[in-house]
């Protein structure tokens, strides 16, 4: 797979240790800046979910036209993340951090100032290039703490994965009051801070020896094609029709061909874009597959719950406060779980977390039009504990059975499956939501017959109320029909969200089943040298 003499990006246990310039204070500034940059990266990529409506309103976009902007952002962001694994071997952490921070600052400022859709179509992909510093930032933190790498690794992962859930309430709290643009002004300021820190304090770590092989352009382009086709299918499948649309059928065939070509290229390339050799190690392979389903369940539930609250009529700021405890608890669980070291305890923590996620998601999926926000807050907070405890276990188990060089060369695959699982999980949940809403609409309509059941007693009451408040009998009948139609549509949407949440439960259940194949027997790990 990988040439034996090819330098690889740092991983836990690697010897490449360089301190930042200046004093101990400078070191702490670097640490804070790096962790902040990791959170800003995830805030930039996920913080817009709950503020989609005000953004679309300001840019005069509908759901489908906005996907022509968000789709390229997603593809460019993922390609940027994994391209950094090669370019860090050429330019070092500092230069990539400078480039990624500059893209984040400029792109976020462009989004904050944009007033036309074409302006956001330019600014969005620019800020997506912040992915260039995501993995180099982790590399730098591992260099700074060679004997505390497990907890450093866990905190960094919490900033990225926990931050993607925490970023939702943060975005919602500023959506309308004062404005969603404030979020991107904040991101731009943070990006500029990270840029200055990298310029003046980060060590100059440009490698003296360059990679023996060039950048895998074919692999990068094939990954971009794969993600583009996936976005197209999951964005447009329901709209065009899964079994009747020629473009959808062609895209499915093209996706299968692109995956086959990508796999062949990565297996034969001297320096692959994403090293697939992680699947040669049993524990690593099982763990990263489990992680993909955990990530998909995490984001599917973490994003559908806030959308359900918005459907119920909660304002953005109130939705943010309801989901904030879940996000903070999940974030804290990710960090606290990083202190667990025993292999058997880690395996059971992962299994318990996934089992808890499954059961609690099924409970959450029982929501209706009258579920109280207090109940939702309590249950989702418990869900956050279970979901958060999975990440540190996944992070440690993904390094079991590998030496430092092997762990470094396969690091991209571990990160990729988590990112890929999360992206596809959210998109699939959206597909299921749309289909379930359509099915629910038909179900509610056919189950309500005029003159029968609840509708028989409710309709006259509504009409009488409207007449007593000034409407004519004819107008009252029309208004009643509108009210009933609105209720039918609202109820159908709740059915859709319940189906999407059950889908999240099935994802975590699959992850739980996969986790049962992880042995509790201790293996060699690059994190064993930690104090």
Q: Where are the domains of the chain?
A: 1-158+166-213, 217-268, 275-531
Task: Kindly indicate the confidence band of residue 384, based on its pLDDT and cuts at 50, 70 and 90.
Answer: very high
% pLDDT > 70, the chain:
88
Question: What's the pTM value of the predicted model, to 2 decimals?
Answer: 0.86
> Could you name the CATH architecture of 1-158+166-213?
Up-down Bundle (1.20)
Q: How wide is the angle at C-alpha 145 spanned by C-alphas 141 and 151, nearest 5°? A: 80
For 250-263, the pLDDT digits (tens) are 999 999 999 999 99
Cis peptide before 5 (omega within 30 of 0): no
d(C-alpha 289, C-alpha 146), whole Å = 28
Query: Angle 473-515/282-311 helices, nearest 10 degrees?
Result: 170
- Predicted confidence at residue 447, as pLDDT, reads 57
- Predicted confidence at residue 455, as pLDDT, reads 55
The mean-pLDDT minimum among 99-108, 120-129, 450-459 falls in: 450-459
d(C-alpha 299, C-alpha 422), whole Å = 6
For residue 470, the 8-state DSSP code is T
Does pLDDT of 441 surpass 50? yes
From residue 394, alpha-carbon distances to 353, 361, 503 in Å are 11, 20, 22
- Predicted confidence at residue 1, as pLDDT, reads 44
pLDDT, greater one: 282 or 180: 282
For residue 365, the 8-state DSSP code is T
- Predicted confidence at residue 458, as pLDDT, reads 64
3-class DSSP string for 151-190: HHHHHHHHHHHHHHHHHHHHHHHCCCCCCCHHHHHHHHHH
Q: Which single residue is written with the structure tokens 């040439």?
A: 3
- Predicted confidence at residue 55, as pLDDT, reads 74
Task: Kindly indicate the confidence band of residue 74, based on its pLDDT and cuts at 50, 70 and 90.
Answer: confident
- Residue 529: name the closest of 34, 84, 88, 147 by CA: 147
Does pLDDT of 238 surpass 90? no
For 24-69, the pLDDT digits (tens) are 788 888 899 999 999 999 888 765 544 566 777 777 777 777 778 8
Task: Kindly indicate the confidence band of residue 147, based on its pLDDT and cuts at 50, 70 and 90.
Answer: confident
CATH of domain 275-531: 1.20.1250.20
Does pLDDT of 456 surpass 60? no
Average pLDDT, rounded, for the chain: 84
- Predicted confidence at residue 390, as pLDDT, reads 94
Q: Do the domains 275-531 and 1-158+166-213 match in fold?
A: yes
Task: Kindly indicate the confidence band of residue 8, based on its pLDDT and cuts at 50, 70 and 90.
Answer: very low
- Predicted confidence at residue 531, as pLDDT, reads 62
Does pLDDT of 392 surpass 50? yes
Helices (H), 51-113: 52-59, 63-113
């Amino acid at each position: 797979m990988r040439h034996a003499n090819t330098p690889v990006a740092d991983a836990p246990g690697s010897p490449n240790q360089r301190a930042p310039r200046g004093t101990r204070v400078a070191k702490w500034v670097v640490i804070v800046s790096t962790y902040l940059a990791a959170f800003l990266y995830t805030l930039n990529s996920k913080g817009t979910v709950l503020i989609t409506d005000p953004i679309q309103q300001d840019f005069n976009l509908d759901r489908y036209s906005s996907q022509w902007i968000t789709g390229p952002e997603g593809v460019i962001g993922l390609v940027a993340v994994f391209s950094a694994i090669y370019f860090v071997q050429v330019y070092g952490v500092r230069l990539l951090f400078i480039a990624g921070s500059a893209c984040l600052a400029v792109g976020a400022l462009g989004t904050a100032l944009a007033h036309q859709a074409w302006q956001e179509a330019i600014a969005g992909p620019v800020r997506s290039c912040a992915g260039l510093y995501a993995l180099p930032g982790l590399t730098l933190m591992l260099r700074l703490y060679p004997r505390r790498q497990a907890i450093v690794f866990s905190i960094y992962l919490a900033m990225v994965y926990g931050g993607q859930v925490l970023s939702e309430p943060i975005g919602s709290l500023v959506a309308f009051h004062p404005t969603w643009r404030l979020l991107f002004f904040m991101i731009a300021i943070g990006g500029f801070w990270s840029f200055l820190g990298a310029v003046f304090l980060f060590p100059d770590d440009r490698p003296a020896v360059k990679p023996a092989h060039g950048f895998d352009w074919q692999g990068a382009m094939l990954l971009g094609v794969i993600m583009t086709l996936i976005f197209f299918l999951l964005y447009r499948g329901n709209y065009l029709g899964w079994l009747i649309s020629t473009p959808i059928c062609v895209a499915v065939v093209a996706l299968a061909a692109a995956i086959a070509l990508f796999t062949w290229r990565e297996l034969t390339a001297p320096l692959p874009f994403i090293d697939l050799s992680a699947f040669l190690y049993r524990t690593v392979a099982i763990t990263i597959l489990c992680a993909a389903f955990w990530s998909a369940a995490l984001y599917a539930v973490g994003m559908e719950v806030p959308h359900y609250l918005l459907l119920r009529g909660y304002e953005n700021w109130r939705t943010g406060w309801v989901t904030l405890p879940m996000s903070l608890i999940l974030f804290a669980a990710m960090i606290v779980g990083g202190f667990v070291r025993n292999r058997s305890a880690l395996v059971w923590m992962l299994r318990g977390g996934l089992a808890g996620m499954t059961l609690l998601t099924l409970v959450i999926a029982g929501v209706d039009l009258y579920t109280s926000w207090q109940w939702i807050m309590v249950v989702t907070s418990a869900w956050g504990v279970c979901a958060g405890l999975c990440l540190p276990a996944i992070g440690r188990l993904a390094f079991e059975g590998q030496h430092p060089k092997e762990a470094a060369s396969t690091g991209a695959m571990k990160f990729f499956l988590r990112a890929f699982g999360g992206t596809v999980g959210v998109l699939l949940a959206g597909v299921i939501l749309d289909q379930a809403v359509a099915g629910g609409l038909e179900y509610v309509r056919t189950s309500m017959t005029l003159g029968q059941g609840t509708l028989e007693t409710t309709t006259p009451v509504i009409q009488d109320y409207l007449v007593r408040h000034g409407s004519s009998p004819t107008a009252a009948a029309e208004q009643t029909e509108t009210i009933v139609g609105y209720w039918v549509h609202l109820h159908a949407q709740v059915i859709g969200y319940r189906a999407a949440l059950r889908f999240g439960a099935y994802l975590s259940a699959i992850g739980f089943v996969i986790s049962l194949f992880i042995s509790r027997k201790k293996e060699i790990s690059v994190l064993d040298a930690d104090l």
